[in-house]
Structures are given as structure tokens and as C-alpha cells.
Copies of this chain bind each other. A is one copy, B any other.
Amino acid sequence: MDVTEVLRMNGGDGDYSYSNNSLLQRKVILMTKPIIEDALTNLYCGMNFPKTLVMADLGCSSGPNTLLVASELIKSIHEIRLKLGHDESPEIQFYLNDLPHNDFNTLFLSVSKFQKNLTQLLVHNSSLPPCYFFGVPGSFYTRLFLNKSLHFVHSSYSLMWLSKVPDMENTNKGSIYISTTSPPSVIRAYHEQFQRDFFMFLKCRAEEMVGGGRMVLTILGRRSDDPCSKECCYHWDLLAETLNDMVVEGLIKEEKMDLFNIPQYTPSLKEVSNEVNKEGSFVVDCLEVSEVNWDACTDQNLNLSEDDTQGVNMSKCMRAVAEPLLLSHFGESIMEEVFARYTNVIKNRMSIEDAKLVNVTVSMTRKG
């Protein structure tokens, strides 16, 4: 599987699109707002109110969350400037990055509307910064920008995706991610792939960022030191359970199942900070863990018939994220069946327990 060719969120704005099923990711972005504001304040003051701010959102996908990040960052800079009584507004250059198969057409049309609204805002408040938006197709595990050209880098719910499925000595029988039944060599292969990828990410960004530049990353991760911990593996374990049932019923070939593994790794706080220290170009300012309930996939303002809707929405959220990977391996014909079954499994679990996802957020400064 060439991850660069296959990994993407479901595009467009249909029922299973990422655009319509990313409330959970939205909640996580809003949770990290104080950390982002703190980093921006330190950046903006530390650089003595630069005339230009170049920002990048890496793994931006396509949908309302992309513009949420952009508008929160732009608003933050505006508010910081007013609070500190600085007259002149900086120009903001905003880079939106994702893999080349991301739906940039949909993204650019929404950016275009967003810019028109921004222009309207400018009429009423002429001090809002002028903003220019650019799309950047490519893997963030490679160089994407000029040397020393970025002031601020943001990424949310993207860096747990690996550049490839790890090379494994043993098959990961019955599992599609790390699980309690995975052989130690599989767990090691996943961890080493994360180390290589995250190190490369840091190295590329170190070259691209100016000294004093800031970076805030939120990664799907874990509290526990144990990579097989339920907190990070449960949603994949349940998907594996669904697929294994279909193997037993002859709907999926066993050999096909044996060859499917998700190119993801959910690191602990310690694993993240180890890599930052090892790479050496950044100082960690803040390292936090937070959690978000599976029911964050459902709009809490809607008064809906509780558990069922929440299970359906968590399953749709997972489908928006994982369907292109499953589809490229198993083919389109079984997708409906896989997700119908997965929805039932999830509904069932959410009715009896309170499942969560864990997020690791790290804020850091480029040395020098």
C-alpha cells in the first residue's frame, strides 16, 4: 500500500464525507485553543511584531475544520495585537497542506467564500490582517517549504498517520493495528516506524522554520506507556473484530485480512518528547494530554435519542477517516456491509461503556 496514494479523508460533502463527520476533530481543535494562543502571543511579541506572519496547517484535510483553524489563528493574532496596543496589522500568509489526493477543489471553493467574508469584515474593521491562502500538496514527511520561511506550524489529528505500514517480520494475525495479541516484533515495527517518521517531520520543519518560530501539534495518542493499551487501540480492535467475523462467514478472504494493517501509531507523551529531544532543534514549551469522548462525534446541542445516534455518528466519523484505506485493500463491494456491522458493534459498546480517545498536544519553539 502506497500510503501517499491511498490515505485521505472522504472528500466532497456527502453523508460519509469528512466534511460532515468531523465534529470530534473540531472539538479537539477548540480544546487546544489556549495552548495555540499562548504560542502565538509568545511568537508575535518575541519577534517584536513582525510585518509578515507565515503560517502552515499541516494535514488540513478539506472541510469546516480547515477554515476553523485558519480563522482561529487569524482572529488570535488580531486580538493579541489589539490587546498589546500595537497599531500595525501584519500580513498573513497561510499554507494549507495535505497529501496530493486530498480534495483541494472543495477546499479552495470554501477558502474563496471565507476570503470574501474576511473582506467584508475588513470593511467594518480595517485593521483585520490581509490574508493570503495557498494549497500545498505533499507529504509532511518531506520538505514542503523554503528554508527558514515559516513562523508558525499547526497540525491536528494528522501526525499519528505514518508514512507507510511498517515492514513486519511476522504477520499481525487477526489485528489491523497494534493489539494485545500482536507479536512483540509487530509492536516494535510500529514504534520504530513512528520514530523514523516523526524524526523526519521534525527535521524538515526545523529547516523550514525561522529561529523563535512556534509549532503546536496535536496527535491521537495515549496516556499509558503500553502501546497495546485499550485507550488507543479500542476503535481499531472493534473494526478488526468486525472484519474477522466477515472472514469467518467467508465474506473476506483470510489472506486478505492478514495483509491489512492501518498505517497509524498513537504515541505516548514520553515517546513524543523523546523524539523532539533526539532531533534537537526544538525546545518543548508545553506537553499535555487530554481526552475526548466518542460521543463528541455527535452535536451535543441536538436532543437526539441518545446512544443509537451517538454510535451511528462515531461509526460515520471512523468511516470518513478510514474508508479510503479499507476500500483500496478490500474493494468497494463490501464497504456497506463492513460499516453496517461496525455501527452495530460501536452502538453496543457505547451503550455499556464510556469510551474515549486520548490526545497528546505538544507546543515547541525552534531554537536559534
Residues of chain A at the chain B interface (Cβ within 8 Å): 51-52, 91, 93, 95, 100-101, 103-105, 108-109, 111-112, 115, 130, 132-138, 143-147, 149
Contact = CB atoms under 8 A, between A and B. Distances in A.
Given A93-B145, A135-B137, 15 more contacts: A51-B147, A52-B147, A93-B146, A100-B109, A100-B111, A101-B109, A104-B104, A104-B135, A108-B137, A109-B137, A111-B137, A115-B138, A132-B145, A133-B137, A134-B136
A137 B104 CA distance: 10
A134 to B, nearest CB: 4
A3 B111 CA distance: 18
Contacts of A115: 138
A167 B105 CA distance: 31
Given A91-B147, A132-B145, A138-B115, A103 B105 contact: yes
Nearest to A109: B100
Contacts of A134: 95, 134-136
Nearest to A139: B112
Number of copies of this protein chain within its complex: 2
A115 B111 CA distance: 25
Chain B CB count within 10 A is highest, among A52, A109, A134, A143, for A134
Contacts of A112: 100, 137-138
A316 to B, nearest CB: 24
A95 B109 CA distance: 18
A130 B143 contact: yes
Contacts of A132: 136, 143-146
Contacts of A100: 108-109, 111-112
A297 B268 CA distance: 59
Most chain B CB within 10 A, of A95, A108, A130, A133, is at A108
Query: Which of A95, A137, A144 is packed against the most chain B CB atoms within 10 Å?
Result: A137
Contacts of A149: 93
A38 B147 CA distance: 27
A115 B132 CA distance: 24
A107 to B, nearest CB: 9
A104 B93 contact: no
Given A52-B146, A130-B143, A146-B52, A108 B135 contact: yes
A91 B91 CA distance: 23
Nearest to A145: B132
Nearest to A54: B146
Nearest to A144: B132
A292 to B, nearest CB: 31
Contacts of A95: 134
A10 B130 CA distance: 32
Given A115-B138, A135-B135, A136-B134, A146 B91 contact: yes
Contacts of A137: 108-109, 111-112, 133, 135
A185 B135 CA distance: 42
A138 B94 CA distance: 14
A352 to B, nearest CB: 43
A108 B228 CA distance: 38
Contacts of A101: 109
